[in-house]
Amino acid sequence: MEKNKINSNLIPIFDDAGFYFEQVEDLKNAFKSELEHPHEPEFYIYSRYRNPVVVAAEKELMKLEGSKWALLTQSGMSAIDLALSVFHKGEKTRPWLFFSEIYGGTNSYIDLILKEKRGIDVHTFYSENGSYDMEKLEKILDGIKPELVYFEAVSNPMLIVADAQQIIALAKKKGAKVIVDNTFLTPVLWKPLADDADLVIHSVTKYLAGHGNLTAGVVMGNDTDFLSQMIEYRKWIGHMLSPSDASRLISFLKTFEIRFAKHCDNALELALLLEKNPRIEKVHYPGLSSHSTYNNAIKLTKGKGFGGIITFDLAGKTNEKKGNCSHFIEHIKEHIPIVPTLGDVDSILLPVEAVWGEKYPYPGMIRLSVGAEPIEELKEYVLKALDQIQK
Ligand code: PLP
């Protein structure tokens, strides 16, 4: 007899590859009912199809997003591939429209996979001077009549906030489906499905997992036909999260909202401080009234917060900027290291030019993913490192 009970807040890891069946009839029924009640299944068959821990994690995400369903995948990129899979119709595939200011990896996937390998007619809608021109968008929609429009609510690294509700309304009016990658705002600041988007994607690797040690992605939506198609695609392509990663994700999600609130508070406070510092030329943060899309940010998040990323440009003559950037990083990296991701509970940074190169060739620019550390500590690290520049 056990002396103490299992903690019912913790879900055991069912790491079975295939599940145990007592009756042949049950196995037959399991295959037959596979698409029914995907989040309350009567049977589990094989973990590449569906696993109890993954389903439990999906249910937590559905609560956060307010969606009818969620499908977890092994990375944000595979979530993007999964979401787009329903629009692949062989030779009948219609044009797709992507906004230009999206994750660089997604842009590479578009060029190398969608265009080059799959021959999809992909169009790009470019931003101009830090914003999107809605009249131009309407003309493009009328011209190419895309089947889908794909955008990110907040761009990276310049943090351009889209007038997302207007974009969705316009795209839907023109008959396109809308996919939003909402990794940067998270469901805390905006829920695209509530504003009529068809699918929302997150790189769960970022804020939702938030500890820099889990790679995952999710697609969420309300349309059950999309759901059935994606369950099939995920199963046959194998875009599935592992049970142990799903279990860790469930634990991380318990603190997600607290963490994200702290990311936002810290980032705003730090952005206000940086804006006053003479060693900084420009701070890009959507919560500052100086940001080109501050009004969009207020409209979209209703002022609940502005995210945890700050991009700033160090002051100095053009030929000094590279050196200033190196000095700054050299003096801060013990506390805030260079790590090419974002959304971790610890602050991390990236020099923009080193990552974006030709697209953003600004040698003095840094993208700071503000962590959830005590704000006084963060301020001290940043101010000390700024003081060291050119000393
Ligand atoms: N979407 C955004 C906005 C991202 O920043 C990233 C990765 O940086 C991805 C998608 C891809 O996610 P993952 O790295 O989890 O595959």
Q: What is the set of domains in the chain, with CATH numbers?
A: 24-253 (3.40.640.10), 256-390 (3.90.1150.10)
pLDDT at 5: 73
Confidence of residue 2 (pLDDT cuts 50, 70, 90): low
CA 261 from centroid of its chain's CA atoms: 16
Q: How far is the CA of 18 from the centre of ligand 1 (A)?
A: 30
Question: Quick one: average pLDDT of 37-66?
Answer: 96
Q: What is the pLDDT of residues 244-267, one digit of tens each?
A: 999 999 999 999 999 999 999 999
Task: Kindly tell me if the per-residue pLDDT of 9 is higher than 80.
Answer: no
Question: Quick one: average pLDDT of 212-230?
Answer: 98
Extract the tokens encoding 317: 């003559």
Q: Could you confirm whether 294 is annotated as catalytic?
A: no
CA 149 from centroid of its chain's CA atoms: 17
pLDDT above 90: percentage of residues in the chain: 92
pLDDT at 358: 87
Q: What is the pLDDT of residues 101-154, one digit of tens each?
A: 999 999 999 999 999 999 999 999 999 988 899 999 999 999 999 999 999 999
Question: Quick one: average pLDDT of 208-234?
Answer: 98
Cβ atoms < 10 Å from Cβ of 32: 10
22: Cβ–Cβ under 8 A, 6 or more apart, which residues?
A: none
pLDDT at 211: 98
Q: Could you confirm whether 333 is annotated as catalytic?
A: no
218 neighbors 252 (Cβ within 8 angstroms) = no
pLDDT above 70: percentage of residues in the chain: 99
Task: Kindly tell me if the per-residue pLDDT of 204 is higher than 60.
Answer: yes
The identity of residue 300, as a single letter, is: L
Q: What is the pLDDT of residues 323-373, one digit of tens each?
A: 999 999 999 999 999 999 999 999 999 999 999 998 899 999 999 999 999
Closest atom of ligand 1 to 183 CA is 3
9: Cβ–Cβ under 8 A, 6 or more apart, which residues?
A: none
Query: What is the C-alpha separation between 343 and 354, in angstroms, rounded?
Result: 19
Q: Tell me which residues have their CB closer than 6 angstroms to ligand 1.
A: 75-77, 103, 105, 152, 181, 183, 203, 205, 215, 217
The identity of residue 290, as a single letter, is: S
Estimate the crossing angle of helix 52-65 against helix 243-253, to 10 degrees: 30
pLDDT at 10: 82
Task: Kindly tell me if the per-residue pLDDT of 39 is higher than 60.
Answer: yes
Place of tokens 């889990």: 214
The two counts, helices (H) then strands (E), for the chain are 14, 11
Q: Please, which residues bridge with residue 369 across strands?
A: 309, 348
| Mutation probe of ligand 1 site: the residue of 75, 98, 103, 190 with most atoms within 8 A of C-beta | 103
